[in-house]
Structure 1
Amino acid sequence: MNEQQTMAMRETLTVQSRQVFPPDTNHHGTLFGGKLMAYIDETAAIAATKLARGPVVTASTDSVDFIKPIRVGDVVDIEAMVSWTGRSSMEIFIKITSEDLLTRTKSIAALSFLTFVALDENGKPTRIPAVIPETDEEKWLNETAIKRAEHRKVRKKESEDLARYFTKGK
């Protein structure tokens, strides 16, 4: 049997920066949550593709926690990294930092976890390398991922049950 390939977590690190303009904001003058979620999904997909070196799809947005409003003029840095891998699925950790360029004030604005699945040429799940954590932060993310994965399984089952409930008799 072939030994599973590995990749350092840092090799999947992807960072994108965006500046917030008035059309990106809601009536409160803060970045639309949906706009930030699109940035998160895009950046996570790039990190996932760095690991899989092939097609990937978003399996779930596990969490997006908005911590601090992001205002017009702020620059948003979206950092994504594969934090854990299964056979074909992977958890992506995303840290969103906002910076007021005039005051140089930086703060964590949001944190997120997504799950992606790698696909083969036929659109079927395919095996991916395992990620290897090196820093203390990476080790913590990797070690705590099992608990998050268990929570995802429970939540997915609940969603499937809910979907069956809403499609009864249709």
Structure 2
Amino acid sequence: MNFHTRKWIKPQDLNPNQTLFGGRLLEWIDEECALYSIIQLENPKTVTKYMSEIDFRSSAREGDIIEIGIEVVKFGSASLTLKCEVRNKMTRETIIMVDKIVMVALDENGKPKPHGKTRVEFVKDRLADK
């Protein structure tokens, strides 16, 4: 799994229990998956269609640094299925696991648009082809 983004837990990210608010974490995961999928599918109109069961395994506290990892599970005709793990950067303890997140590329009318991708591509390789 590749860990692309780090977040520093600040006071505004906490719940009344003084641990990381789950909704904030899910917002970060959704944004990270969207950015990753937009880049992979080369389509800025890529949206979240589905998120499977969310497994909160531990928590994070103010001052902790967490990292968000994403892995491609499968390419569909208009979709990209990912899995996600968020962990504490310093201890490597898993905070949350999401086994299945489906992102869908859309056309100008908001309908699924086939993307023609079958494997993970890196931007540096696309630039080398030009």
Structure 1 length normalisation: TM-score?
A: 0.63
1:111 paired with 2:101, answer: no
Aligned residue runs from structure 1 range 3-152, under 5 A: 15-54=4-43, 55-99=45-89, 104-112=90-98, 113-128=100-115, 129-131=117-119
Q: Please give the alpha-carbon distance, in whole angstroms, between the structure 2 residues aligned to 1:94 and 1:121.
A: 28
Residue in structure 2 matched with residue 161 of structure 1 by the alignment: none
**Deviation (angstroms), 1:105:** 2.2
Contact 1:69 1:109 in 2 (8 A): yes
The offset of 1:93, in angstroms, is 1.1
Distance 2:92 2:25 in 1: 17
**Which position in structure 1 is the counterpart of 2:128?**
none
Counterpart AA for 1:106: R
For residues 14 and 121 of structure 1, do their structure 2 counterparts lie closer, same or farther at Cα, with a shift above 3 Å needed? farther
What is the RMSD of the two structures over their aligned residues, measured on CA atoms?
Answer: 1.8
Answer whether contact 2:47 2:103 (CA < 8 A) is retained.
Answer: yes
The worse-fitting range, judged by mean Cα deviation, of 33-42 and 82-91 is 82-91
1:121 to partner: Cα distance: 3.0
Aligned to 1:163: none
Structure 2: stretches of 5+ with no match in the other structure? 121-130
Larger Rg: 1
How many residues align structurally? Answer: 117
Residues 88 and 14 of structure 1, relative CA distance in 2, 3 Å threshold: farther
Aligned-pair identity (%):
29
C-alpha separation between the residues in 2 aligned to 1:62 and 1:56?
18
Q: Which whole-Å CA distance do the structure 2 matches of 1:26 and 1:34 have between them?
A: 9
Amino acid at match of 1:97: R
In the superposition, the TM-score normalised over structure 2's length comes to 0.81
Q: How many angstroms apart in 2 are the aligned matches of 1:81 and 1:120?
A: 25
Cα distance, 1:14 vs. partner? 6.2
Counterpart AA for 1:76:
I
How far apart, CA to CA, are the structure 2 residues paired with 1:46 and 1:94?
Answer: 13
